[in-house]
Structures are given as structure tokens and as C-alpha cells.
Amino acid sequence: MGREIFPGIEVDPERLGGKPVIKGTRISVESILERLAAGEREEDILEAHPHLKREDIRRPLAFAAKMLSKEEFVLISEAA
């Protein structure tokens, strides 16, 4: 059983190598984000995964925003 790390998102070391997934599924947060970034519509994702709800598609966006708000970015210049 997974551990919820964000509302509707869980991790389980035994599922997808511990990647965050939509709770109760094997659908990774990463795959939803990639599909949305590629221009796929929410309706297309919901049609492909009828057991998901619209909020399941939006949770990865909120999760990514929350994770990025905790990150510190450091620019490293390339050697000439």
C-alpha cells in the first residue's frame, strides 16, 4: 500500500520504482505531466483512463508546482 505524499498522490517502493502515482493506480505523475506538456487534452487522458476523474489529471500540476516552490536553482556556467 502506498503512502500519500500529496492529496491524491502516493508513493510505494514496490510500484513503479517508488515514483509518485495517482492514488490507487499505476499511473505516474510524470506520465500525466508529460501528456499535458505534449498538448494532450484532459478529455483525451480521461478517455484513455476512464477510472480517473478530472481532479486526478490536475493533481500532478499542483504537486509539481508545490515541489518547485521548495527547490533552489543554481546556475552553473559552462567552461569555455
Q: State residue 3's pLDDT score.
A: 95
Q: State residue 72's pLDDT score.
A: 78
| CB distance 40 to 47 below 8 Å | no
The pLDDT profile of the chain, 80 residues, written as one tens digit per residue, is 789 999 999 999 999 999 999 999 999 999 999 999 999 999 999 999 999 999 999 999 999 999 988 877 777 877 65
CATH fit for domain 3-69, picks 3.30.365.10, 3.20.20.70, 1.10.10.10, 2.102.10.10: 1.10.10.10
CA trace torsion 26, 31, 33, 36 (10° rounding): -110
Q: Which residue has the cell 513503479?
A: 16
